[in-house]
Amino acid sequence: MGDMILPGGTIGVLGSGQLGRMLAIAARQMGYRVHVYSPSEATPTGQVADREFVGGYTDLEKVREFAASVDVVTYEFENVPEATATACAEIVAVRPNPYTLQVAQNRILEKTTLAAAGLPVTPFRPIRSLHDLEAAVAELGRPSVLKSAESGYDGKGQVKIYAETDLASAYAEIGNVEAVLEQFVAFEREVSVVGARGTDGTFVHYGVIENEHVDHILDMSIAPQTLPVSEQAIEIARGVFETLDVVGTLCVEFFVTEDNSVLINEIAPRPHNSGHLTIDGCVTNQFEQQLRAICGLPLGSTRFHAPTVMVNLLGDLWENGEPNWGAALAFAGVHLHLYGKGEARIGRKMGHLTAVANSIENAKSIALNARNALVTR
């Protein structure tokens, strides 16, 4: 018990978006206090935290003041500078560790580290110049995908290389920055494994979650799923946790190929959009699991109550006025989660709906019909 951070302790969160908000809700429910640090105020996390520190991530004096006020630090997105996490680690435990954050922030380091550990990644080459790109395309072929090494998400910072693509123009499109070229993978589906690892090395997972994307943004997640690749994907995910010595929640996203092999697409060292369905679908959701892990508590059951489907709610739904919440909530088994964001913009994640039902097919139908009802009058 001495190494545990017990209820009544204070959790520090770097970053203040919806993931931090849902972690803060889980923490408050279990009797913890929550302090959040980010450059903004009145944020989704700040709305439910006990204290909101407002400062730049490079203001290390302010960062250390924040770290001194909490019992453990975690982060809710991976674009927090590694130097910020390291400054916190001088004062208090940071979980997952700053090295994991560093690896997840740079696609070259991420793929190199995982490949060196014998974990399957998409064939890639590091790109630091147009000459590198030309050589890599000659080696990996077309089509292929050029991705900026840092700061890319939801399809941003990447461009496909086709037979007719001018390489200089493609490299300029991502800003002539450090990048990776990935061989195009003809995948059959995309899946993820969300798991957690405790301070004692205990590993738990939510099985394989199937994901559907629209315009590179996650649209729907479906679980639980039993696929031919399930055991393989889970063991690879365990390997990622152990390679990086992760304590906390992490998601591994995979491509499933037509011959039923899996390749790591990328990792997210935090709770993940595809794991939101665990809030209503599981005994212990991914945010409570994150809290348990970073506090040294026993990890919780990942059992699903029933088949569960999540659909994202993007700002597009507000285009013609406030969505019809009553119509969506009239569907049995539907749960609404909004993130406290003030401005709805096209493509911005504003919330999600989950549907829990007696079958995957029914849950999927209910979730889609409920979302469609949001824009009916």
The length of the chain in residues reads 377
Tokens coding 97: 């560790």
Confidence of residue 38 (pLDDT cuts 50, 70, 90): very high
As a whole number of Å, the end-to-end CA separation of the chain is 55
Report the pLDDT averaged over residues 179-186: 94
pLDDT at 126 over 50: yes
Q: Cα–Cα distance between 350 and 323 in angstroms, integer?
A: 12
pLDDT one-digit tens code per residue, 139-165: 999 999 999 999 766 667 899 999 999
Residue ranges and CATH numbers for the domains of the chain are 10-94 (3.40.50.20), 123-183 (3.30.1490.20), 187-373 (3.30.470.20)
Close Cβ partners of 296 (under 8 Å, ≥ 6 residues apart):
3, 4, 5, 198, 199, 200
pLDDT at 1 over 80: no
pLDDT one-digit tens code per residue, 224-257: 999 999 999 999 999 999 999 999 999 999 999 9
Q: What is the pTM of this model?
A: 0.96
Whether the CB-CB separation of 302 and 285 falls below 8 Å is answered with: no
